[in-house]
Amino acid sequence: MTAKALPVSALCQECDERQLDFDTTADLKDLTEVIGQARAVESAQFGIGIRREGYNLFALGPTGTGKFSLINRLAKEKAATEPLPNDWCYVNNFKEAHKPRALELAPGLGDSLRRDMDQLVDDLRSSMPAAYESEEYRTQVQAIQEEVKEREESALQELQKSAKEKGIALIRTPAGFAFAPTKDDEVVSPDEYDKLSKTERKRIERDVEELQQQLQRSLHQVPQWKKEIKDRVKSLDREVATYSVSHLIESLQEKYRESAAVTEYLGEVREDVIDHLEDFRSNEEEGPTVLGIQLSKAAEGPSFNRYKVNVLVGHANGDGAPVIYEDNPSYQNLVGRVEHLAQLGALVTDFTMIKSGALHRANGGYLLIDAQKVLMQPYAWEGLKRALRSRQIHIESLGQMLSLVSTVSLEPAPVPMNVKVVMLGDPYLYYLLAYYDPEFGELFKVAVDFDDRMQRDADSSRLYPRLIATLVRKEDLRHFHRTAVARVIEHSARAVGDAERLSTHMGSVQDLLREADYWADEAGADIVRREHVQHAIDSQIHRSDRLQQRIQEEIQRGTILIDTEGERVGAVNGLSVMSLGQYSFGQPSRITARVRLGEGEVIDIEREVELGGPIHSKGVMILAGYLGARFAHDRPLSLSASLVFEQSYGEIEGDSASSTELYALLSALAEAPIKQCFAVTGSVNQQGEVQPIGGVNEKIEGFFDVCRARELTGEQGVLIPESNVKHLMLRQDVVDAVADGKFSIYAVATIDEGIEILTGVPAGERDASGRFPPNSINYRVDEKIRTLSEKMHAFATATKGAEAEDEKGEAGDDEGAEE
Amino acid sequence: MTTKAPKSDLKVKRILVALDASPHSEEALEAAVELAHSLEAELEGIFIEDEDLLRLAGLPFVRELRHFSARYEDVSSQRIERELRTQARRAEAALARSAKPRRLHYSFRVLRGRVEAELLEAAEEADIVTVGRARSAPERTRKLGSVARAVVREASRTVMVLHRQAHPSQPVCVIYGACGTARKALAAGAQLAAAQGSELRVFIPDGDREQAAASENEVEEWLAGQRFAATVQRVAGRDCRDLLRSLQHYSCGAVIVERDDPMLGEDELHDFLVGLDCPVLLIR
């Protein structure tokens, strides 16, 4: 039953160059489909195709798996078959200026309406002053004014006439009128007046009094007449304005008759122009100024801005529905914003300062956003959900949304929304949202799940080179020779740590291709060959392996105590993996076990000092289970064992060392020395079966590097779980050493297999009588446990006897005390 | 055409303008300033305190109906005098405001008495008396004010009847009649045209053909002598109405006519003055 070392062929699933029926990637066609993401493609097609509420997509997968390019491509393909969405404009609301009106127009008409309205204002500004300066208009105004003036004059003249008949003159004084008696067209002087007879004076005074009353009556009517002029001139002005504006508006209404909203708006424009005709009469271009500072017309005085059209989204020249990727999905970039203009310290705004958001631009089409960015932007996620739920885009500032400010701002009319939103993100974000946000499931019903690996089979071996060819052409790289392609494929399998799988992480494949191209360029090669790819891989490792080298050095210098020769009781070389960013490497560490009499607990020192994680603790507890069931099923397990990772000062997690710990424990119990030329990895269950672990390649290479640095003896090797054999994609130098018989890799399925290799002593099976063969490891363990158990029993009995004596004595004292 | 002013028989040294404080008077002032500037003459502004007003203030029962409030208030001499002084000050200020920017020599006097009499008396010392067309009556009524009428009728000097609409760029039109002052009119026209840089047109009424031919010769000769270019043409001008109709065809910047032209009786002159849309210089 002794396990054999693995053959060389099992150590690395090389890519058979003979199966690659091309010379370089130049011979290969571009790959149009996405490989290895069948589920994602299917989900995405379904999600993009279905036009129902809540069927938005969440593309989940690790960064670099090609989520964006796949979704973008599928969305664009679908969008090209869909109609161009309508234009949206904001225009002034003449009734409630703070609630700008939203107008929907056929594609391209938004911009045309904007130009037409600008033209209309220009036309009115030239035609209206002209109309008011025309001879016809002036004549009519003059006629009205003169009519009243004549009334006034004739009233005065009449009065003057009747006064004259009585020898009295109407005289203008500096501040008004007065009546005075005359003689020879001259006012009678006071002296002369005094000389007149009393009756004469009385007559004059009476006449004057009467005339004065008449004059007063006439003058009282003057303001009335003046108001009449004003009203008549005003209505004439309106007539002129109506005449000037109506035909212009009517021709526009004819042009935009398809849209009832636009026609209605144009009607309101006409009324507003007539109401504000004074604005059009003056030709002044200059706005008002305060202390020489030019004020915008929006702030004071006539403003023609209110006739402008703010084209929020225009589709003048486009084909198909929009596909928008919003790079910075902040709240305002999504739902749009209202900008303000600082004017003498005050902030002012109007509907022309409304700016569109990504949702506006994507309306009628697709919006792609990065989930993490949305979630990191304050309130962006809330804003997005609100829009999706209400199917409308409300432009509100954050202050308004949170009711923090109540200053006057705009409340633009909401725009109906029909956008399919695709969020792209890491799987953990998807699961977090699904768990914590009750609305998420309602709004993002389609999960597009991207895998980071794919099956490595004949089909994929055919497609993968084409994928490489496509990327090479896309990146404009040198073409890859088939040997180079083979190396890329092997590395892709190694990247996912599985000989039967390939990586679908396009990002890292692309990086490797670019770097290989660089090294080919450095070497002056026309095409990229295997050695260039290898160079790229080596240099990638070299750039990040400083810490690994440091640890290796410390092992060589004897600072970290690792033996690769000789034997030790209760000590085994374990293997762990360290991950630093993208790079991970294996590292051996010594695991030791000591046993003594105890109550059946296996002490994990790592856990006692809180450096061991829960999974590690679980692995250790399984050991106790295994020992108890196998060796002490009928008696108490009377031992206390302690396990430790020597020289480990950081946290340890994972159960991949549990088999190693068991070997150390068994060695300690059996007092059987373990060969230090081996390193071990693998977890174990309570049945003693060795289970697979991760990072097998890195672990093997980690021990190999230590051994090679000291000299390969041919004895050295690594024990791995049998179920990890399919994951082997070892480095070429490891494979070569194994081929030369200088290094070995053993696949073990059970603890018994492993302990045999490590100690060179058979493990031993229970025979029919339930006893292990003498001198086998299990026999020695069994004996040890039995001995410990008996010692414990003896110890316990002795202690109990002593305690019983004590109790008796105490009880007697008590009785005595009572008596 | 030369712009050099010909030697003139018309020696204009002083131009008289009567001012009150009305907006209309300010327009007349503008026109007078323009004229004085063109002719390089001194401008004399006068303000006449109406004696009638002062007398009226002395009458015990007279009350004044105030503008705007339309209420009667008692009149006192002090108040009338104060108001007149204020008006005079404003008139003087208006004169200064108009004359100073043109660097015009000007003087201002306040007179007291009957308006027409005082004005005519003051006119004796001036070379040209300017009068506004209407004192505050609307244009439509087409009447000369009583003061203007009196001045036109009685002044022994050349009178300029000002008009609200002055068109300095339009041609200066001279009616070359048969009185002794015709040459003076022609010379004034030439001087004004040269000063304004506008064209000079000489109209010769052809009521009497022989006379007209003789006049034409005289004009040509004078112009040749002065080396001054002008358009000379005959117009239908048997009587005043005829002449007015003829002139209305042309756009005139100013019309210069002899005051003593036999065609212009008192009523005809009045119609002639109100019928033209430009200032009229009545040469005497």
A776 in a structural domain: yes
Q: Count of CB atoms within 10 A of residue B26's CB?
A: 18
The residues, any chain, with a CB within 8 Å of residue A366's CB and separated by 6 or more, are A48, A75, A78, A79, A321, A322, A323, A324, A419, A420, A421, A422
A800 in a structural domain: no
**pLDDT the model gives residue A292:** 61
Q: Report the residue count for chain A.
A: 819
B79 in a structural domain: no
Q: To which residue do tokens 């004590």 refer?
A: A806
Q: Choose one of A407, A424, A450: the last residue of a domain.
A: A450
User: Which of these ranges, A168-172, A606-610, A738-742, has the smallest mean pLDDT?
Assistant: A168-172
User: What's the DSSP call for residue A729?
Assistant: B
B30 in a structural domain: no
> What are the residues facing A171 on neighbouring strands?
A178
**pLDDT the model gives residue A79:** 93
pLDDT digits (tens, 9 = 90+) for A647-682: 988 888 888 899 999 999 999 999 999 999 999 999
Average pLDDT for A583-597: 93
Residues A109 and A166 in one domain: yes
Q: Which residue among A149, A153, A176 places its CB closest to the CB of B66?
A: A176
A807 in a structural domain: no
CA–CA distance, A489 with A464 (Å, rounded to integer): 7
User: Which of these ranges, A195-199, A495-499, B3-7, has the smallest mean pLDDT?
Assistant: B3-7
Q: List the single residue in B with minimal CA-CA distance to A179.
A: B62
The DSSP secondary structure of A390-447, one letter per residue, reads HTEE----HHHHTT---S----PPPEE---EEEEEE-HHHHHHHHHH-TTHHHHB-EE
Highest mean pLDDT among A660-674, B31-45, B205-219: A660-674
Rounded to 5 degrees, what angle do the CA atoms B123, B121, B177 make?
45
Q: To which residue do tokens 């015990």 refer?
A: B60
B259 in a structural domain: yes
Looking at CA atoms only, how far is residue A211 from chain B in angstroms?
Answer: 11
Number of domains present in the structure of chain A: 4
CA–CA distance, A649 with A606 (Å, rounded to integer): 9
> Could A174 and B84 be called an inter-chain contact, meaning their C-beta atoms sit closer than 8 Å?
yes
B43 in a structural domain: no
Looking at CA atoms only, how far is residue A209 from chain B in angstroms?
Answer: 9
Looking at chain B, the whole-number percentage of residues with pLDDT higher than 70 is: 88
Residues A393 and A521 in one domain: no
Q: Which residue among B64, B70, B86 places its CB closest to the CB of A178?
A: B64
Tokens standing for A56? 């938005």
**pLDDT the model gives residue B19:** 84
Band (A817; pLDDT cuts 50, 70, 90): very low
Band (A809; pLDDT cuts 50, 70, 90): low
CA–CA distance, A367 with A44 (Å, rounded to integer): 14
Question: For residue B63, which residues of chain A lie inside 8 Å, CB to CB?
Answer: 178, 212
Concerning whether A445 is annotated as a catalytic residue, the answer is: no
**CATH number for A634:** 3.30.230.10
Residues A346 and A435 in one domain: yes
Concerning whether A656 is annotated as a catalytic residue, the answer is: yes
Looking at CA atoms only, how far is residue A119 from chain B in angstroms?
Answer: 37
How many CA atoms, within 13 angstroms, populate the side-chain half-sphere of residue A93?
A: 15
A254, exposed or middle or buried, with CB in 10 Å at 0-12, 13-18, 19+? exposed
Decide if the complex's ipTM is over 0.95. no
Residue from A699, A742, A744, A784 carrying the catalytic annotation = A699
Looking at CA atoms only, how far is residue A142 from chain B in angstroms?
Answer: 10
Sign of CA dihedral A16, A18, A19, A23: positive
CA–CA distance, A695 with A678 (Å, rounded to integer): 18
**pLDDT the model gives residue B139:** 40
Q: Which residue among A174, A180, A215 places its CB closest to the CB of B59?
A: A180
Residues A721 and A738 in one domain: yes
**CATH number for B276:** 3.40.50.620
CA–CA distance, B254 with B192 (Å, rounded to integer): 9
Residues A117 and A263 in one domain: yes
Residues A71 and A203 in one domain: no
Is the CB of residue A171 less than 8 Å away from at least one CB of chain B?
A: yes
User: What's the DSSP call for residue A652?
Assistant: B
Is the CB of residue A229 less than 8 Å away from at least one CB of chain B?
A: no
**pLDDT the model gives residue B22:** 65
pLDDT, averaged across chain A: 89
Is the CB of residue B89 less than 8 Å away from at least one CB of chain A?
A: no
In this structure, the strands spanning B200-205 and B172-175 are: parallel
Q: To which residue do tokens 């097609």 refer?
A: A45
Q: Which residue among A179, A189, A209 places its CB closest to the CB of B58?
A: A189
**CATH number for A404:** 3.40.50.300
Band (A696; pLDDT cuts 50, 70, 90): very high
Question: For residue A171, which residues of chain B lie inside 8 Å, CB to CB?
Answer: 52-53, 56
Residues A481 and A513 in one domain: yes
Residues A332 and A345 in one domain: yes
Residue B181, classed as helix, strand or coil, is: coil
Q: List the single residue in B with minimal CA-CA distance to A193.
A: B59
Looking at CA atoms only, how far is residue B176 from chain A in angstroms?
Answer: 34
> Could A179 and B62 be called an inter-chain contact, meaning their C-beta atoms sit closer than 8 Å?
yes
Q: How many angstroms separate the most distant Cα atoms in chain B?
A: 68
Band (B2; pLDDT cuts 50, 70, 90): very low
Number of domains present in the structure of chain B: 1
- Best probe of the A interface among B24, B64, B82, B135, by most A CBs < 10 A, is B64
Per the CB < 8 A criterion, the answer to whether A627 and A665 are in contact is yes
User: Which of these ranges, A476-490, A625-639, A768-782, has the smallest mean pLDDT?
Assistant: A625-639
Residues A438 and A348 in one domain: yes
**pLDDT the model gives residue A811:** 53
The residues, any chain, with a CB within 8 Å of residue B96's CB and separated by 6 or more, are B106
CA–CA distance, B181 with B129 (Å, rounded to integer): 17
Q: Indicate the Cα dihedral angle A270, A276, A282, A283, nearest 10°.
A: -40
For chains A and B, CB pairs below 8 A equal 88
Q: Is the pLDDT of residue A814 over 50?
A: no
Side chain identity, residue A480: F
Q: Is the pLDDT of residue B167 over 80?
A: no
Question: For residue B82, which residues of chain A lie inside 8 Å, CB to CB?
Answer: none
User: What's the DSSP call for residue A456?
Assistant: -
Print the domain residue range for A152: 85-286+297-319
Nearest alpha-carbon partner for A583 in A530, A551, A537, A616: A537
Q: Is the pLDDT of residue B137 over 50?
A: no
pLDDT digits (tens, 9 = 90+) for A369-421: 999 999 999 999 999 999 999 999 999 888 777 777 767 678 899 999 999 99
Q: List the single residue in A with minimal CA-CA distance to B55.
A: A189
Q: Is the pLDDT of residue A555 over 50?
A: yes
CA–CA distance, B234 with B208 (Å, rounded to integer): 11
pLDDT digits (tens, 9 = 90+) for A111-144: 999 999 999 999 988 888 888 888 888 888 888 8
Question: Cα A357 to the chain's mean position, in Å?
Answer: 16
Residues A222 and A190 in one domain: yes
Residues A352 and A266 in one domain: no
Looking at CA atoms only, how far is residue A170 from chain B in angstroms?
Answer: 10
Higher per-residue confidence, B41 vs A571: A571
Residue from A244, A589, A656, A658 carrying the catalytic annotation = A656
**pLDDT the model gives residue A487:** 94
Q: To which residue do tokens 């009350």 refer?
A: B63
Highest mean pLDDT among A334-338, B127-131, B136-140: A334-338
**pLDDT the model gives residue B1:** 40
> Could A173 and B56 be called an inter-chain contact, meaning their C-beta atoms sit closer than 8 Å?
yes
Q: Is the pLDDT of residue A166 over 50?
A: yes
Q: Is the pLDDT of residue A48 over 80?
A: yes
Q: Choose one of A450, A467, A491: the last residue of a domain.
A: A450
> Could A171 and B66 be called an inter-chain contact, meaning their C-beta atoms sit closer than 8 Å?
no
Looking at chain A, the whole-number percentage of residues with pLDDT higher than 90 is: 58
Q: Is the pLDDT of residue A567 over 90?
A: yes
Q: Which residue among A142, A153, A187 places its CB closest to the CB of B141?
A: A153
B236 in a structural domain: yes
Q: In sequence order, what E strands does A39-148 have?
A: 57-60, 87-91, 101-105
Q: List the single residue in B with minimal CA-CA distance to A218.
A: B70
Per the CB < 8 A criterion, the answer to whether A424 and A446 are in contact is no
Band (A719; pLDDT cuts 50, 70, 90): very high
Q: Is the pLDDT of residue B133 over 70?
A: no
Highest mean pLDDT among A652-656, A681-685, B3-7, B75-79: A681-685
The residues, any chain, with a CB within 8 Å of residue A736's CB and separated by 6 or more, are none
**pLDDT the model gives residue B136:** 40
Print the domain residue range for B188: 172-283
Mapped to the 3 state alphabet, what secondary structure does A366-400 carry?
EEEEEHHHHHHCCCHHHHHHHHHHHCEECCCCHHH
User: Which of these ranges, A355-364, A743-752, A790-799, has the smallest mean pLDDT?
Assistant: A790-799
**pLDDT the model gives residue B232:** 85
**CATH number for A511:** 1.10.8.60
pLDDT digits (tens, 9 = 90+) for A429-487: 999 999 999 999 999 999 999 998 999 988 888 899 999 999 999 999 999 999 999 99
A415 in a structural domain: yes
Residues A214 and A252 in one domain: yes
B255 in a structural domain: yes
pLDDT digits (tens, 9 = 90+) for A211-262: 888 888 888 887 888 888 889 999 999 998 898 899 899 999 999 998 899 9
Highest mean pLDDT among A342-346, A412-416, B48-52: A412-416
Q: Which residue among B65, B137, B138 places its CB closest to the CB of A177?
A: B65
Band (A1; pLDDT cuts 50, 70, 90): very low
A810 in a structural domain: no
Nearest alpha-carbon partner for B188 in B64, B63, B38, B47: B38
